[in-house]
Amino acid sequence: MREGYLRGALRRPATQRQMDVLAAFVAAGGSVPDAAELVGIRPGTVKRHLADLRARSGLSTEQLIYAGRAAGWLVVPRLEPCSVTTRPACGS
């Protein structure tokens, strides 16, 4: 393994747009067309952003979602635990 290389770490930082697309993909339940509608782009563009994230990290989309939520850079409000600040999103 090369010095400074870690499988699953983004070698180049992801753009904010790529992270937004990944969050929309999660919020849409894994649907590319629904994620595209949420973000306001074409489904092919969603696929391209997800493919670039997979290439940067060496992870599958599922692994990216898990790693992003664990590291705190992927926030999907409907999946976050209810708190005082997120209560309206929790349906309370």
The pLDDT-based confidence of 8 (bands split at 50, 70, 90) is low
Dist. CA 79–CA 23, nearest whole Å? 10
Say yes or no to pLDDT of 86 above 50. no
- Domain positions in the chain are 16-90
* pTM given for the model: 0.73
Structure tokens at 49: 């952003």
Q: Burial of 14 by CB count in 10 Å (0-12 exposed, 13-18 middle, 19+ buried)?
A: buried
pLDDT tens digits, residue range 19-57? 999 999 999 999 999 999 999 999 999 999 999 999 988
Dist. CA 79–CA 66, nearest whole Å? 12
Nearest to 68 by CA among 16, 3, 2, 1: 16
